[in-house]
Structure 1
Amino acid sequence: MINPTEVVPGVLFYSYYAAMRKEKVAFLEHNILVMQISGRFTMETASERFSMEQGELLLIHRNQLGELTKTPLNGEDYQTIVICLKEDLLRQIALEEQIEIGGKYTGPLNILIPGNDFLRAFFQSVMPYVRHPDEKVTNAVGLLKVKEAVQLLLHTMPELKDFLFDFSAPYKMDLEKFMLSNFHFNIPVEKFARLTGRSLAAFKRDFQKIFDKAPRQWLQDKRLLEACHLIEKKHRKPSAIYLDLGFESLSHFSHSFKRKFGLTPTELFEREKHIHH
C-alpha cells in the first residue's frame, strides 16, 4: 500500500502506516477534516494538543503549524481518511448554496466533531474509492463527496458555518509573540510571513524592527541558544534535540553550533557530563 494514497488528487487522501511516524511539522494551509479509522492521531500546536482514536473526527482550521504523530494501536495498522476543504471549493459551495458568508471566525481552531450515523455512513461510502485507488475516480465524484462532507458537518453542527466559510485574510498577528512560540518549526520564512498575515516584505520589515536582525539569522541564533540551554541545563543529548529545534541534519546542527559557541554540541554535552559527575 502506498503512503498516503491520493484518492482524488489534492482533495481526498487516505493514509496507511504500519509503524509509528512522527512528522515534525506540518503547515496546515487549508481546512482539513480527518476521520480516524484505526490507530491514534495526535496533533500539537503551540497552544493545544489533540488526540483521537478510531471513529473520531477532527476538523482543523487553516493556517496553522502543528506536529503530527501517527501511532498504530493493538497490532493494527494506522489508517485515516483526510479530506482537504480548500478555499476555492468552499467558495463554490457557498455560492451554490447561497450561504451567508460571515466575518472573521474567532472560535476554536480545532474541533472534535461528535460522530453520528450520517457522518459514519459518509466515511463508509468513501472507503470503496480508497480501496480501489487504481480505478481512478473522476474529480467530479470527488467534489461531490467533499460537498456531501460539508453538508453533513453543517447538519451536525450548524455553528460550523463561520468556521468553514471564513475567507478573510489572516489577521496581522503579534509577530514577536508568534515567533517566540514557533521558532522551532522548520518552515521557510515565506510561510512564517503568511501565518502572521503579512507579505514577505512587510514581515521582514516588521521583523527587523522588533528583533533587530533578519529572520533567518534570528531563527538560527534562537535555535542554537535553545540547544545550548537544553544541553547545559537539561542534559539532553544533541542527537535527541536537533530535529525538534528545526535543524535538517545533525551535521548541519553541529557545524552551526561550533561556529557560534566554539565547540560542538557533543563536546559541550561531554563537558557537562564530567562536571556533574
Structure 2
Amino acid sequence: MTNPTEIIPGVLFYSFLSGMRKEKVGFFEHSTLVLQVAGQLTLETTSQRITMQKGEMLLIRKNQLAELIKTPLAQENYQTIVISLKEDMLRKIALEEQIETVQKYTGQPNVLIPQNDFLYGFFQSIIPYVRHPAEKITTTLGLLKVKEAVQLLLHAMPGLTEFLFDFSEPHKIDLEKFMLRNYHFNVPVEKFAQLTGRSLAGFKRDFQKSFGMAPRHWLQEKRLAEARHLIEHKNKKPSHIYLDLGFESLSHFSHAFKRKFGKAPTERVVTSQS
C-alpha cells in the first residue's frame, strides 16, 4: 500500500489504498483538485458531506478541516489523483493572466465538477507520471500542470474565478462556536488560530476569554468528557471512538482517560464517579 505517492513535489500526488481507512483529520491548507480513479471517497465538513465515485472530480477549498473516508469497492481498490493548487502558484497565474477578483468567495467550499472531457483528458495525461514516479520532474513542469488544470477548471466553470483567486485572509469568526463544532479534529493549535482568522497570540487571548483556560487544556478536557459520555451512555467501544475524538493512538487515549477519571475506558466508569 502506498498512500500517497508524491509524483511532482508539492503539486501532484497519487493515492492508492487496498483497505478501508477513515481519517478524522484532513486539513486542506491549499485548494485541491481530486479525481476519483477507483473506489469511493467521502468528504465531510461541518457544512457539507460529499461522496465521490469512480470518474468524478472534486474541487476542495483551502483552509478547511474535513473527515475523509476512503473505501475500496467490490473488485476495485481505492485510487485517487490529487493536484495541490498552492497559493503561490495561483498568484503567479493571476499575474500572468491578469486575473483580478472584485469580491471574496462566498460559495460552497467544496464543489463537484461536472463531467468534462477536457479535464478528464488532463488527468489521463498525468497517468505516465503516476506509472513512472522515479523520473525526476521539475518544479517548472509542476507549474505548467497546475496552469493547465486551472485553465480547464475556468473553462468548465467560469464562476470558479473567486474560488481560486481569492487571496484574502480568513475573516475573524466566532471562536466559541467554531471550537465547539471542531474540537475533535486533531490539528495543532496554530491551525485552529489560522482557521478562525487570528494570530496565535490573538487566538490564545480570545480563547482564554471565551473558555477560561488555555486551548490545549480545554481540548483535552472536552474530548475526554465526550469520550466518557459515548462510553457510558452510547455503549461505544474505546477503540471505535478515540480517533474520532482527536486522539493520536488508543494508548494515548487510555492513559489520558485513566488519569482524568481514575479508571481505564474499558472499565466503563459510571456517571456518578468523578
Q: TM-score range by the shorter chain?
A: over 0.9
Q: For residue 16 of structure 1, report the CA deviation from its aligned partner.
A: 1.3
Range with greater deviation from structure 2 (15-24 or 204-213): 15-24
Q: For residue 7 of structure 1, report the CA deviation from its aligned partner.
A: 1.3
Which whole-Å CA distance do the structure 2 matches of 1:175 and 1:127 have between them?
Answer: 43
For 1:142, the aligned partner's letter is: G
Per-residue CA deviations over 1:168-226 (Å, capped at 9, x if unaligned) read: 00011110010000001111111111111111000000000000111011101111110
The corresponding residue for 1:166 is 166
Which whole-Å CA distance do the structure 2 matches of 1:252 and 1:136 have between them?
Answer: 40
The corresponding residue for 1:15 is 15
- Counting only pairs closer than 5 Å after superposition, residues 173-188 of structure 1 correspond to structure 2 as 173-188=173-188
Q: For residue 68 of structure 1, report the CA deviation from its aligned partner.
A: 1.0
Identity across the alignment (%): 70
SS of structure 1 residue aligned to 2:46 = coil
Runs of at least 4 residues off by over 4 Å: none
Unaligned ranges ≥5, structure 1: 273-277
For 2:220, the aligned partner's letter is: Q
Q: For residue 103 of structure 1, report the CA deviation from its aligned partner.
A: 2.6
Range with greater deviation from structure 2 (70-79 or 156-165): 70-79
Indicate conservation of the 8 Å contact 1:38/1:79, yes or no. yes
Q: For residue 76 of structure 1, report the CA deviation from its aligned partner.
A: 1.7
The corresponding residue for 1:150 is 150
Which whole-Å CA distance do the structure 2 matches of 1:2 and 1:148 have between them?
Answer: 26
Number of matched pairs: 271
Q: For residue 60 of structure 1, report the CA deviation from its aligned partner.
A: 0.3
Per-residue CA deviations over 1:92-145 (Å, capped at 9, x if unaligned) read: 000000011233211100000001111111111111111111222222222111
- Counting only pairs closer than 5 Å after superposition, residues 165-244 of structure 1 correspond to structure 2 as 165-244=165-244
| TM-score after normalising by structure 1 | 0.94
Indicate conservation of the 8 Å contact 1:102/1:165, yes or no. no
Which whole-Å CA distance do the structure 2 matches of 1:232 and 1:77 have between them?
Answer: 37
Indicate conservation of the 8 Å contact 1:40/1:51, yes or no. yes
The corresponding residue for 1:275 is none
| TM-score after normalising by structure 2 | 0.95
Q: For residue 52 of structure 1, report the CA deviation from its aligned partner.
A: 0.4
Tell me whether 1:52 sits opposite 2:20 in the alignment. no
